[in-house]
Amino acid sequence: MKRLTLLRHAKSDWDDPVPRDFDRPLNRRGEKAAHLMGDHAARKGLRFDRLAASPAVRVIQTLETFFAGYGEKLEPHWDRRIYLASASTLMDVVRDLPDSADSVLMAGHNPGLEELILDLVPEDADNKLREDVEVKFPTASLAVLDLDVDRWKDVRENSATLVSFTRPRDLDPALGPETR
């Protein structure tokens, strides 16, 4: 059994005049959400033995803040393929994970992460969590998937169970969608 936990980067600062999207930092709301999600992961007893992450600035900052809330740090394995990746590229990243890792945290971007979840978790009329992901996988959200495989290279579509899906607004309603 393998466990894959997916973390979307927290809300970034679109007002920051960086020359490249890759360099866009988090905003204050994103920092608060990432810290809260790290605290949530620790309280739920989530454990990771590997971290695969996009090297984009907003992901780096999300992880720094997430692990501050989590209470311990895991050294990342930066993988440029994760930056703005499609679901099929993310599936390749998953299949390339070392089998010595049983519980992996992957941090990256949408729409790839959301599409990866929808590819891995079979459609089922009774699966409320999958329906929620299908509506939206917001920034700083955390999805935990169990895969009934012994080797990462054996991961296939429709083979995962979505164990949990947590959005920042589930923990603090103030972090819900902004209304204008």
Mark residue 84 as left, alpha or beta (left: phi above 0; alpha: psi -120 to 50; beta: remaining). Answer: left
DSSP 8-state class, residue 156: -
In a domain, 69, yes or no: yes
Q: What value does the mean pLDDT take over residues 7-13?
A: 94
In a domain, 153, yes or no: yes
Distance CA 127, CA 177 (A): 23
Q: How confident is the model at residue 124 (pLDDT cuts 50, 70, 90)?
A: confident
In a domain, 180, yes or no: no
pLDDT at 33 over 50: yes
- pLDDT tens across 37-58, in order? 999 999 999 999 999 999 999 9
Q: How confident is the model at residue 179 (pLDDT cuts 50, 70, 90)?
A: very low
Residue 103's SS3 state is strand
pTM of the model: 0.95
- pLDDT tens across 159-177, in order? 999 999 999 999 999 888 7
In a domain, 100, yes or no: yes
In a domain, 70, yes or no: yes
Q: What is the CATH number of the domain that holds 151?
A: 3.40.50.1240
In a domain, 98, yes or no: yes
Q: Which two structure tokens, joined as six digits, stand for 125?
A: 């009329």
Q: Which two structure tokens, joined as six digits, stand for 58?
A: 């907003």
More confident: 26 or 125:
26
In a domain, 64, yes or no: yes
Q: Which residues pair with 162 in a beta bridge?
A: 145
**Residue 50, domain extent:** 2-175
Q: How confident is the model at residue 16 (pLDDT cuts 50, 70, 90)?
A: low
Q: What is the pLDDT of residue 180?
A: 39
In a domain, 93, yes or no: yes
Count the domains in the chain: 1
Q: What is the dihedral of CA 28, 30, 35, 37, to 10 degrees?
A: 160
